[in-house]
Amino acid sequence: MIVLSSRRAAHDASRRFPFKARRMLGVWLFLSGAAGAAYADAQAGYTLPPPPSELYGDLFVAVQTQGIYPDQKTFVDATPKMDPAQIVQAYHQQMTVPGFSLAAFVAQYFTPPTDQSITPPPNQSLREHIDWLWPELTRLTTTANVPPNSSLIPMPKSYVVPGGRFREGYYWDTYFTMLGLQEAGREDLVDNMLDNFAYLIDTIGHIPNGNRTYYVSRSQPPFFSYMVELAAQKEGGRVYQKYLPQLRREYGYWMQGANTLQAGGAVRNVVMLPDKTVLNRYWDERDTPRDESYSEDVNTAKQVTDRPANEVYRDLRAAAESGWDFSSRWFGDNQTLTTIRTTSIIPVDLNSLMFHLETTIAIGCGEARDFGCVGEFVGRAAKRAIAINKYLWNKNGYYGDYDWKLGQPRNNPSAAMLYPLFAGAAWPDRAHTTANTVEAILLKPGGLVTTTFNTTQQWDAPNGWAPLHWIAVQSLKRYGRGDLAQQIGTRFLADVNNVYATQQKLVEKYVVEGAGTGGGGGGEYPLQDGFGWTNGVTLKLLDLYAPGQ
Residue numbering of the annotated binding site for substrate: 165, 172-173, 209, 218-220, 323, 524
Query: Does residue 508 carry a catalytic annotation?
Result: yes
Name the active-site residue from 168, 284, 291, 325.
Answer: 325
- CB contact at 8 A, 207 and 201: yes
Which secondary-structure segment (H or E) carries 22? helix 21-31
- CB contact at 8 A, 325 and 342: no
Integer Cα distance of 365 and 377 in angstroms: 9
- Residue ranges of the annotated binding site are 165, 172-173, 209, 218-220, 323, 524
Please state whether beta strands 408-409 and 345-346 pair in parallel, antiparallel, or not at all (unpaired). unpaired
Cis peptide bond prior to 326, omega within 30° of 0: yes
Cα–Cα distances in angstroms (integers) from residue 257 to residues 27, 101, 250, 261, in the given order: 20, 48, 14, 7
Across 46-195, the runs of DSSP E, i.e. the strands, are: 79-80, 110-111, 138-139, 159-160
- CB contact at 8 A, 54 and 12: no
Residue type, 394: N
Cα–Cα distances in angstroms (integers) from residue 500 to residues 115, 131, 137, in the given order: 22, 14, 18
Helix spans in 110-208 (H): 126-136, 171-183, 187-204
CA 472 to chain centre: 18
Q: What is the dihedral of CA 55, 219, 505, 485, to 10 degrees?
A: -170
Across 411-514, the runs of DSSP E, i.e. the strands, are: 443-444, 447-448, 463-464, 510-511
Query: Does residue 325 carry a catalytic annotation?
Result: yes
Output DSSP code: residue 397: T
Integer Cα distance of 152 and 531 in angstroms: 20
Q: Could you give phi then psi for residue 305, rounded to 5 degrees?
A: -110, -10
Output DSSP code: residue 182: H
CA 366 to chain centre: 29
| Residue 49, C-beta contacts closer than 8 angstroms, at least 6 positions apart | 55, 84, 149, 150, 151, 213
Name the active-site residue from 195, 296, 297, 508.
Answer: 508
Residue type, 334: N
Active-site positions read 325, 508
